[in-house]
Structure 1
Amino acid sequence: MLKRFTTLFPLWAVMLSAVALFYPELFLPYRNTIPLLLGVVMFAMGMTLSVKDFMLVLKRPKVIIIGTAMQYTFMPLAGFALSRLFGLSPELTAGFVLLGCCPGGTASNVICYLAKGDVALSIMLTSVSTLIAFVMTPLLTWLYIGQTITVDMYGMVVSILQIVVVPVALGIGLNAILGTRTERIRPALPALSVITIVVIIAIIMALNKDTVMSAGILVMSVVVMHNLIGLASGYGFSRMLGLSEIESRTIAFEVGMQNSGLSVALAIKHFSAIAALPGALFSIWHNISGSFLASYWNGKKI
């Protein structure tokens, strides 16, 4: 039942987004809760990890380095290039660049499983990119758009530490303390994450009602292209570098599926509600595209 609920994430996101666009007053009072809600998702992620998981990095350094490097290379560049190509406003450009500079999303782990990828590798890539995000995300955002819009690097570092690193660390710590007793609640954690992210998306839709109605098609088109570039480049370059089919599929999802919730929280706090729109739309789309690609790969022999 819980797995079924989790796999229908795009449907819940679309439905609640529609409600938010027609009845924004239901969600506007909760605009300041986005960082807290994302912290809940990160804590849930930490609850699925242990110190032993991170030791796996030492056994597969090549793949981890390649996957993480692609994550922080292709997506920021694609976000910046597409924004310039379509002449997006500085605020939307900031949103797309910030989205590209964020680490991999936890949804990639589920999609990777459905695509017959390497789930352990997926979790490690998500974890590593997340833990170094407090340096990479502010730095890359500043490098790309620091000349056109003010980027508070120090403030962004503090935000990521508060929203990502601390909750993940607390989750890992609690998991270590409770040990096997966490096995009872682990199956419910993905569902909790889905509910939380769907609420975050709805809040952003409510905040951006007018923008979605006027420029939604253009922004959504750029979101789709951004995601497809990530998926294609992650897979294609992995194969070119000699990685296996399974490793390449895994990296494709890690590169193409961003932690859009983090980009939304950072955009709201450090830029504007409009800058959060790309991340909110990306949250819906990358799960749809990822599910279709996973279904296709699941039916192919490796």
Structure 2
Amino acid sequence: MILPHLVPALASAAADIDELSLDLSDGLQLGTKIVIALFLFGVALDTRVGDFRDVVRRPGVIVVGVVAQYAVAPGLTLLLTLALDVKGSVAIGMLLVACCPAGNLSNILTHRARGDVALSISLTGVSNVLAVLVTPIALAFWSGLNPKAEALLRDIELSPWDVIGEVALLIGLPFAAGLLVAWRAPGFAQRSGRFVEPATLGLLLLIVVGGLAGQFDIFVTYIGVVVLPIVAQNVIALGVGYSTGRACRLPGPGTRAMTFELGVRNTGLAVVLALGFFADLGGVVFVAALWGLWDVVSGLALATWWRRRPVERGGARVEISGSGPATDDRSTA
């Protein structure tokens, strides 16, 4: 008896989501940007030059991972938006998330899943460095291939150069500052990194949840419209990561790392970019925020499941006990 009333309601919500405007205060938006900057600063504090050794030792794996991250995953996301015939703002939100780099959460989940933490950190570092230029260009390119998304972007006259400037400030500047501190004061960086990253991640989640709570009526109205695309995209992203690891013939720990690197996005950055450039397209912000929450849930579930499973190394199944990472003694948690 509920279904006949539910279907028209969802159809109406889908029709209106492109006109959705989220009323978020300037203070909340500024606070989100500051938290993201601190988060990237904390990531850099825990980054060492040695963490990029896989770029030299296994350049092929890094290149394949980056290509899969910025080309394969967004390309499949584009096809998903067309197959589900989502509205333009939903498509932009999904593609924005797909074009964002990995975040430190992928390192934490890799560690929990007994994956290759060194590879995870290397991929995260490379993807964040490239994101300053690649994320805006990739978003403009892939969104331009979706007619509904392209029409909305044309209406708001989004400039890729403006996005590049925003990403440079949000990623490049704090990341460079953190690397400088880690190089000049490694002891301070090590002590501070243990608190900066978890604290800022918690603050970011509080901001996202608080923002959604303040718009609870919107949440109830539109959740049914975006839940299927978000879950489907997350499954695809994790699948691309796992398939990439297997295609590169990585051992079990490496495949787990690649899965989280490509499947877990920096949705905090996506939310900030959505707030900064798509304020009048609330559907973009809505998708990015909910993607972030689901990202944590699905990532933790997979990491916990993998943690209880034996790890394959070069074809051999190895039972691991204890709480340390599979290939790196330095925990990122």
TM (normalized to structure 1)? Answer: 0.85
Q: Report deviation, 1:128.
A: 0.5
Cα separation, 1, equivalents of 2:142 and 2:24: 36
Alpha-carbon deviation of 1:95? 0.9
Report the secondary structure of 2:102's partner residue: coil
- Give the 3 Å change call, closer, same or farther, for CA 53–217 of structure 1 in structure 2: same
**Superposition deviation, residue 55 in structure 1:** 4.2
Q: 1:279 aligns with which of 277, 288, 293?
A: 288
Per-residue CA deviation, residues 191-239 of structure 1 (Å, 9 max, x unaligned), is 2132222133135425754432212123122111111111112112321
Alignment of 1:123-272 (within 5 A): 123-146=121-144, 147-148=150-151, 149-150=153-154, 151-202=158-209, 204-205=211-212, 208-272=215-279
Kept in 1, the 8 Å contact 2:43–2:193? The answer is no
Change (3 A) 1:230 1:26: closer
1:98 equivalent in alignment to 2:96: yes
Specify the alignment match of 1:86 in structure 2. Answer: 84
Deviation of residue 25 (structure 1)? Answer: 9.5
The answer on whether the counterparts of 1:79 and 1:99 sit within 8 Å (CA) in structure 2 is no
* Equivalent pair of 1:31/1:203 in contact (CA under 8 Å): no
Alignment correspondent of 2:326: none
Question: What does 1:286-301 align with in structure 2 at a 5 Å threshold?
Answer: 286-301=295-310
Alpha carbons of structure 1 residues 186 and 241: separation in structure 2 relative to 1, 3 Å = closer
Tell me what 2:34 maps to: 36
What SS does structure 2 have at the residue aligned with 1:219?
A: helix
Partner of 2:47: 49
The one-letter code sitting in structure 2 at the alignment partner of 1:278 is V
> Alpha carbons of 1:98 and 1:204: their partners in 2 closer, same or farther (altered >3 Å)?
farther
Alpha-carbon distance, 1:79 to partner: 2.8
CA contact (8 A) 2:238 2:260 kept: yes
% of aligned pairs identical?
27
Call closer, same or farther: CA 1:80–1:206 in 2, change over 3 Å. farther
CA distance in 2, matches of 1:169, 1:294: 30
AA of the residue aligned to 1:175? A
Q: CA deviation at 1:283?
A: 1.3
Query: Deviations for 1:5-37, whole angstroms, at most 9, x for unmatched residues?
Result: xxxxxxxxxxxxxxxxxxx99977523332222
SS for the counterpart of 1:132 is helix
> How far apart, in 2, do the equivalents of 1:52 and 1:265 lie?
30
CA contact (8 A) 1:204 1:276 kept: no
Paired residues in the alignment total 279
CA separation in 1, counterparts of 2:46 and 2:261?
18
Aligned residue identity for 1:124:
S
Q: Which residue number corresponds to residue 107 of structure 1?
A: 105
Structure 2 letter corresponding to 1:193 = T
TM-score calculated relative to the size of structure 2: 0.78
On the 8 A contact 1:105/1:259 being kept in 2, the answer is: yes
Q: Deviations over 1:36-78 (max 9, x none)?
A: 2211111111111123323442122122112111111233123
Aligned to 2:86, the other structure's residue is in SS state coil
Asked if the contact 2:37/2:171 (under 8 Å) is kept, the reply is yes
Deviation of 1:103 after TM superposition, in Å, equals 0.6
Amino acid in structure 1 at the alignment position of 2:244: F
**Computing the radius of gyration over CA atoms, which structure comes out larger, 1 or 2?**
2
Structure with the largest fraction of helix: 1
Cα contact 1:204–1:280 (8 A) shared by 2: no
* Unpaired stretches in structure 2, ≥5 consecutive residues: 1-21, 145-149, 312-333
The farther-off stretch of 225-234 and 186-195 is 186-195
